[in-house]
Structure 1
Amino acid sequence: MTEPRWLSAQERECWLALMAVSMQLPSLLDSELHRQARITLFDYHVLAMLSETEDHLLPMSELAGRTNASLSRLSHVVKKLEGRGWVERSQSPVDARVTVAHLCDAGMEMLAGLAPEHVNSVRELIFDGLTDDDVEDLARIGRKLVSRLDPEHWIFR
């Protein structure tokens, strides 16, 4: 058995900071979105990914990729969003074997109302504490990390 490659002091500090951000940030954003609209950050992310597409429509499998979710988790959330009248599922007009999710007008309206405060929270929690160089570095590092975790990730297409 080979000896593990232990983290250096700087790597450990970086790892612990990354873990703290990855654990605390979703919780803080979840709290704000729940207070405003009784939705989770994941719910918001699903709606946002649909809002950014032409016709506000995506195949469920592609939406799962864009939200980093299993189809099972996504299906559960989309069902909840359907119940609120924000999303609807149907067969793809191109391939009847494919189920698509569509952001309804009510969902787009709700999202448009939430977006300014959500973006403000993201700005306050992350970007206001960084320089332009920090943001550039973080984007570069984020792309590197995502490409190692998922080389086929949708952001690289």
Structure 2
Amino acid sequence: MPAGIRCVTNHPYAGGRTPVAARRKDYPLNASQQFTWLNYMRVYHRLEYEMNRQLLADCALSLSDYTVMNALSQAGGHRQQLTALATTIGWERSRLSHHLQRMTGRGLVDRVRSESDGRAVDVVLTDAGWDQLRAAAPLHAEWVRTLFFSDLDSRRESQLADILATVYDSLVREGTLPRPD
């Protein structure tokens, strides 16, 4: 590691572990890794911006709203404990709590006492939220098909899916968020 730079391993976000980069002897990134990483970051930021813009313009939902509602739509009874929902979507619990306040005010979700643990809170997709998500899904799917998949043939789609699954597994294994159920 360059002189004067130290890794903080007792930071709350580090989970008391030595950061991955500090454990590697071949850091910094080689030219191919750097090229790949910079391309990924360009795609990540542009994709996040464009998805949020499309959802707001076409569906009156933010990307954050859609992320929460999509996760709840896949949960049994369209409900999930707040902590489990945060883990499912990869957010910190405090971020989710703040966002849920806004969504509750708009009638998209409710927060209720957990059916399985009286100390916990369940997040429930309301009927209005479900209706809005069902209306948004085909519009968003068409956008995804056009902007994300249109230039990929089935072989490249499969390769991309495999690569993303591998990266996700590494994030779950090495990351600091709890493992999703």
TM, length-normalised to structure 1: 0.90
State which structure, 1 or 2, has the greater radius of gyration over its C-alpha atoms: 2
Distance across 1 between alignment mates of 2:153 and 2:29: 27
Deviation at 1:47, TM superposition (A): 0.4
Q: Which residue of 1 aligns with 2:89?
A: 67
Say if 1:137 and 1:153 are closer, same or farther in 2 by CA, change over 3 A. farther
Q: Which residue of 2 aligns with 1:55?
A: 77
Q: Which residue of 1 aligns with 2:146?
A: 124
Match of residue 160, structure 2, among 121, 138, 155: 138
Q: Which residue of 1 aligns with 2:68?
A: 46
Q: Is the 8 A contact 1:30 1:41 kept in 2?
A: yes
Task: Select between 64-73 and 34-43 the one with higher mean Cα deviation.
Answer: 34-43
Q: Per the alignment, in what secondary structure is the counterpart of residue 15 of structure 1?
A: helix
Q: Which residue of 2 aligns with 1:18?
A: 40
Distance across 1 between alignment mates of 2:135 and 2:125: 15
State yes or no: 1:31 paired with 2:57: no
1:121 corresponds to which letter in structure 2? Answer: W
Deviation at 1:63, TM superposition (A): 0.7
Q: Which residue of 2 aligns with 1:107?
A: 129
**Counterparts of residues 68-107 of structure 1 (less than 5 Å):** 68-107=90-129
Deviation at 1:4, TM superposition (A): 5.6
Aligned residues between the structures: 155
Q: Is the 8 A contact 2:86 2:92 kept in 1?
A: yes
Q: Is the 8 A contact 2:58 2:139 kept in 1?
A: no
Detail structure 1 runs of 4+ shifted over 3 Å in the superposition: 1-9
Say if 1:26 and 1:82 are closer, same or farther in 2 by CA, change over 3 A. same
Q: Is the 8 A contact 1:60 1:100 kept in 2?
A: yes
Distance across 2 between alignment mates of 1:39 and 1:135: 27
Q: Percent identity?
A: 31
Answer 1 or 2: which has greater helix percent: 1
Q: Is the 8 A contact 1:47 1:103 kept in 2?
A: yes
- Name the Cα RMSD after superposition: 1.8
Q: Which residue of 1 aligns with 2:13?
A: none
Q: Per the alignment, in what secondary structure is the counterpart of residue 126 of structure 1?
A: helix
Distance across 1 between alignment mates of 2:59 and 2:102: 13
Which consecutive residues of structure 1, in runs of 5 or more, have no partner in the other structure? Answer: none
Q: Is the 8 A contact 1:147 1:153 kept in 2?
A: no
